[in-house]
Amino acid sequence: MILVRETPAIVTGGASGLGAAVSSALRAKNVPVAILDMNAETGRAFAKAIGGQFAECDISDATAVTSALEELRGIRGQERICADCAGIAPAAKTISRGASHDAQLYAKAIRANLMGTFNVATQSALGMSTADALNADGERGVIINTASIAAYEGQMGQLAYASSKAGVVGLMLPMARDLAKSGIRIAAIAPGIFATPMVTGFPQEV
């Protein structure tokens, strides 16, 4: 698929870190970009700076995702690129200071990282599936989900984060097989540690 004005993109978590880098790279290719982010002030400012659109959205809420996508599609049409970059990285060990891992913290990571990715990817895929093909090969779009090296090599204190990202890895293959006949490609990336606002609170040795 060629990156052009006719391949609008959405980027979750697109106002900072990896998401901001993806948003900027797509705009550099003249691709229309819409950012979905919970941080409205930063998101609107960054979207304006790169010439994109913004929708405030908690991706762990499926209804909020539906509303955000409908709003953005009304402006620029069906997205053909979906980059799921939003996520959180809580740090807590299985047991610590006489207590087990907090269940609410674990559930929060699953909601943000796994359910959030699921919500956006599935709803984006539905929209792509009913859109016209982009070329003679029948391509309709691509969805890239962000996992982590922690999905394979989780470290101490990454119980919630690593298992949520392992779930993102698990989504990839069945989703790709489900959507192949619709001309929608699915990919997942598993980055290591690099300097983003999300990881600035990590200890120096991980």
161 included as an active-site residue: yes
Contacts of 161 (CB under 8 A, 6+ apart): 88, 89, 90, 91, 109, 113, 148, 150, 154
Is the alpha carbon torsion for 13, 16, 22, 26 positive or negative? Answer: positive
At residue 82, φ and ψ (nearest 5 deg) are -125, 115
Q: Which CA distances in Å does 139 have to 114, 173, 200?
A: 26, 18, 39
Q: Choosing from 9, 116, 161, 182, which is the catalytic residue?
A: 161
CA–CA dist 206, 204 (Å, integer): 6
Spatial contact of 37 and 15, defined as CB atoms under 8 Å apart: yes
Tokens of 113: 């990282």
CA–CA dist 119, 66 (Å, integer): 9
Q: How far is CA 23 from the centre of its chain?
A: 12
Q: Which residues are catalytic, by number?
A: 161
